[in-house]
Amino acid sequence: MNEKDINNVRKIVFGNKVITADAIHITENPQKYIKYAEKFNNLQEIGVSIDKDQNYYVSIRKFIEKCNDNVVIKNSVMGEATKEEFLIGEEKIDKIINQIDTKWSEKEKLAFVNYKIGELLSYSPNFNFSQKDQSKEIEDTRNIWKSIVNGRSVCNGISEATVYILSKIGIKAKVLASKTHNFVMAELEEGNVILDPTWDLIYTLYEGKPAHFGKTYEQLRKEDGPLRDSHKLENVPENVIEIEDSELRQIHRNIGIAKEDGNFKCPVLKDLGIINKSFNTDKEKIENFLEMFANKYNDQAKHLSETRSMLEICMQQFGFETNINKDKSNKDKIVTTKFVYKNNDSKCDKPYLILHFSSSELKDNIKILNLEEKKVENLEIKEFEKQYMLHNQDTSRPFWKEYIKDEIQNREKNNENYK
């Protein structure tokens, strides 16, 4: 097969969407041309669609397996996976798909994929800041296979991965995009079902009941809360059906996630209940709970963004409001959570999750989740400030400075005296 023939085959398979001779986007099933894949020696880049049928993905995998080892795979304009990463990512996806019972209903298959996304991906805590030296990570979180290998993604990457997996099991779906957030709508025979796999990561990780699965568009808009327009779309989705609580529990019981009585396991809340009854003061309850959490839920806690949300929910059970939802009439019962970085971490590569409580018996210390040692460190705020900082792209004033403002003022005054 000469170069002219190869180019003819490339044109037949990939049509006029070929940008260059070494970059192609496969829009149709390449099954007939798999045998030619290894002859595309100069092929460097393959684009894969995320909304095709099952046969397309079977052929795509075989095609890529036969391609040269230097080829990269894309699913969008940003981010790329190596051939090895593609194959590893496919294996991880197949482990999820192979657990699906072919006799399950469309809703049950959909619920299973939505729940299991939490085993593949975690929300990247660094994504809120986008400086040049983070551009590689930002791109990586958009590529399905790269993000699955790394275990980190963001809402549009998570949504595209969900649509991709659903397409592989025969469920048609698409990404819904607001100005600030991406989520998913699956097109079932019974009607369209909206799901937000990103916002439900916390519940799937900690075995709770999904809170954003099978909601109507109007219900999601009401739940946006402080984030307000996260689910606001220019065109309201049509033919959307609601999955009510009783049906949601039944679906998850049928797929082996909820218990026989329809309740979800969520063991962390059970452990919280025991501690809540066993101790009297806020200090005793919180410190014992956090020590238990860092040890018992260490693996889950490595998913920092979801863990931050779970700990905020748990602290509400102890009567503390988050800083976002704080009740101004009760300033002594506020918990503030934040990602911080060691002062010598100039690129902000390693985030640490911290908690601060405004109550009189806890306000002088900051609690740091130390996953390596499976414990929670307590540092006085004065000492904490010497060791930690906010992300170098975070322009907000560090909240802890409010608690040591007198010392800061004295320090600044002394510095002025030395000038």
Domains along the chain with CATH numbers: 1-74 (no CATH), 83-265 (3.10.620), 281-410 (no CATH)
Render the burial of 244-262: b for 16+ CB within 10 Å, e for the rest.
eeeebbebbbbbebbeeee
What was the pLDDT predicted at 416? Answer: 54
| Rounded alpha-carbon distances, angstroms, from residue 179 to 34, 218, 228, 230, 251 | 40, 17, 11, 7, 32
What was the pLDDT predicted at 410? Answer: 57
Q: Do 148 and 230 form a contact (C-beta atoms < 8 A)?
A: no
Tens digit of each residue's pLDDT (9 = 90 or more) over 237-289: 999 999 999 999 999 999 999 999 999 999 999 999 999 999 999 999 999 99
Residue 199 corresponds to which tokens in the numbers above? 């916002």
Q: Where are the alpha helices (DSSP H) in 133-216?
A: 135-140, 144-150, 155-168, 201-205
* Mean pLDDT of the 406-412 span: 58
Tens digit of each residue's pLDDT (9 = 90 or more) over 76-91: 868 899 999 999 999 9
What was the pLDDT predicted at 133? Answer: 47
- Residue 408's pLDDT band, with cuts at 50, 70 and 90, is low
Which of 16-25, 57-66, 131-140, 388-397 has the highest average model confidence (pLDDT)? Answer: 57-66
pLDDT at residue 16 is higher than 50: no
* Mean pLDDT of the 338-345 span: 94
DSSP 33-61: GGGGGGG-TT--EEEE-SS--HHHHHHHH
Please state the pTM of the whole predicted model.
Answer: 0.87
| Rounded alpha-carbon distances, angstroms, from residue 202 to 187, 300, 346, 412 | 25, 10, 29, 42
